[in-house]
């Protein structure tokens, strides 16, 4: 996973409560950052998306921690991209970065999640709508 593959970034403002006694962001909060990134990504990538009508559920989520994220991190942010489209699901990839003293990118965490489209009334998975695939392909380039 390379930072150059990401077109979408959202700045992060870690809260004091995100840090553990060791002085870095606790591992569990990266999943919150993924959630924040997903929400803003969907608003940017799909103007038709409506959270009260269209829903997905998380089927899988993983994170690999690289370098700790500390309170003095410069410009922490999360990158999000769609990396795979399936019949009923799609995958997000995540990258949490900050800037080093020489403006180089520091990668703190990378992650991935699989989302399954879900019908709230029928309580079952559904096909990934063509308009969602089209929106993602338009935003990312052909996936």
Identify any residues that bridge with 8 across adjacent strands, giving them in sequence order: 80
pTM over 0.85? The answer is yes
Looking at residue 120, its pLDDT comes to: 87
- For the domain that residue 45 is a member of, what is the CATH number? 3.10.129.10
For the segment 70-87, what is each residue's pLDDT rounded down to a tens digit? 999 999 999 999 999 999
112, 136, 138 from 115: Cα distances, Å = 10, 14, 19
Residue 117 lies in a domain: yes
Residue 143 maps to a domain: no
Residue 91 lies in a domain: yes
Confidence of residue 1 (pLDDT cuts 50, 70, 90): confident
Considering the domain boundaries, does residue 57 fall inside one?
A: yes
Q: Is the distance from CB of 99 to CB of 69 less than 8 angstroms? A: no
The DSSP line for 105-124 is EEEEEEEEEEEEEEETTTTE
Mean pLDDT of 117-134: 93
Answer yes or no: is 9 within a domain: yes
Position 49 confidence tier, pLDDT thresholds 50, 70, 90: confident
Provide the number of structural domains found in the chain: 1
* Residue 108 covered by a domain: yes
Domain that holds residue 45: 3-136
């Amino acid at each position: 996973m390379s930072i150059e593959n990401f077109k979408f970034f959202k700045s992060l403002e870690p809260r004091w409560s995100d840090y553990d006694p060791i002085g870095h962001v606790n591992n569990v909060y990266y999943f919150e950052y993924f959630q924040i990134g997903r929400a803003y990504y969907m608003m940017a990538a799909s103007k038709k998306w409506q959270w009260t009508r269209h829903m997905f559920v998380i089927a899988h989520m993983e994170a690999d921690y690289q370098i700790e994220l500390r309170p003095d991190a410069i410009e922490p942010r999360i990158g999000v991209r769609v990396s795979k489209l399936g019949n009923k699901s799609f995958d997000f990839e995540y990258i949490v970065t900050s800037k080093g003293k020489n403006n180089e990118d520091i990668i703190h965490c990378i992650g991935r999640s699989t989302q399954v489209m879900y019908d709230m009334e029928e309580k079952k998975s559904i096909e990934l709508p063509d308009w969602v695939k089209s929106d993602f392909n338009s935003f990312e380039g052909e996936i």
